[in-house]
Amino acid sequence: MDKKWLELLERLVNTDTGFDLDNSTKLERTQFIADILKDYGFQVHRESAAHVALKGKPPYLTLIGHLDTVFKEGEASRRPFTLQDNVARGPGVADMKGGAVLLVAVVEEATKKNLDGLCVILNVDEELGSKESRETFEKHAKESVCCLSFEPGGIHGELVASRKGIASLNIEVKGVKGHASRLEEGANAIVEASHKVCELYSLNGHIGSLTVNPTIMNGGEKSNITPDLCRIYCDVRFSSTQELKEFEKRLVEIVSENRIERTSCTYSLTERRPPMLFMDEMKYALEKVFQNLGRRFELEHSSGGADGAFFTTFGVPTLDGLGLCGGRFHSEEEFALIDSFKDRLRLAVELLECFDQRRSEKKVRE
């Protein structure tokens, strides 16, 4: 990894871009990355929670990544970038500031090879669910022929071929207040909610690969009052829209049948990210690239959601996990393996060239 890329990685890691900052602040703090893209001939501007850089005309070869982290303001000062032998550490060093540096290096190589029709999107709200930047991704997905995402690779070099979608489930159980010593006076919302939590959890393993995990439960007012309200939040992960539909069908049954008399239940189920699918066109491109490289990378299906899913929803072949390899993401032990840089760089550039050739062939046919 050349010195200039290490210096860029150090600067990025030592720039706080945590979830506790507003998006405009994070965009301002990372403007230096956008300025580097300008130096490569891109037209750069800001859209919803993202830096967007365009070079040439669509349809685009699109590269994406995020510049935000899960760490609070001050973490970079408390735990700045360090490098020992092959291992880099610091907040977000792998997820995914290392990937952002790799993306810029890919842009440099693509520029040297005179590749045109490039789109780069670097958002600052990915760790918050990309609520604002989703609009930006979907807009440019409609103009893309492929999407390469630079989330971190696995510790053994794995690429992410597909990902689960994410949905948020909020349940509200209402009961009746009463004196805690007189059970007949009240209708305990916490007890009813507990039944529903157990029923929901029992669905795991019965609807394809879908998982439902109750992670937050709040109820009760005082120790001597029967609670009349309890709220539950569940994290839901799914590999297909059909799985989510089947889950909601079972969910309706669970919330409509109450064990405790005089309780009632409502819910809201919101898709936060669609699943990222492994499309045939990306499979074929990878096979060609593996042959050119003379080596293969393992492919994995991830239970974690990411922004590449916004592209497969529009039929755009997408590959993720192209960033620096590493591990212990979202923790103080997070690390990135510097010696993975060279192979990831070559892999990404080969993929861009492959899709550029396909794009050219398609234009000729048209």
pLDDT in tens, 190-220: 999 999 999 999 999 999 999 999 999 999 9
Average pLDDT for residues 66-79, to the nearest whole number?
98
pLDDT in tens, 220-237: 999 999 999 999 999 999
pLDDT in tens, 275-307: 999 999 999 999 999 999 999 999 999 999 999
% the chain with pLDDT above 90: 97
Average pLDDT for residues 301-325, to the nearest whole number?
96
Average pLDDT for residues 161-179, to the nearest whole number?
97
pLDDT in tens, 261-273: 999 999 999 999 9
What is the model's pLDDT at position 364?
Answer: 72
Per-domain residue ranges for the chain?
3-163+275-365, 165-273
362 has pLDDT over 90: no
366 has pLDDT over 80: no
Enter the pTM of the model: 0.92
CA distance 206 to 316: 30
For 65, 141, 202, the CA distances from 128, given in Å and listed in that order, are 14, 20, 28
Helix axes 31-39, 3-13, angle to 10 degrees: 150
pLDDT in tens, 337-350: 999 999 999 999 99
CA distance 359 to 146: 10
363 has pLDDT over 90: no
pLDDT in tens, 104-118: 999 999 999 999 999
What is the model's pLDDT at position 336?
Answer: 98
pLDDT in tens, 121-153: 999 999 999 999 999 999 999 999 999 999 999
* Fold classification of 165-273 (topology level): Alpha-Beta Plaits (3.30.70)
* Fold classification of 3-163+275-365 (topology level): Aminopeptidase (3.40.630)
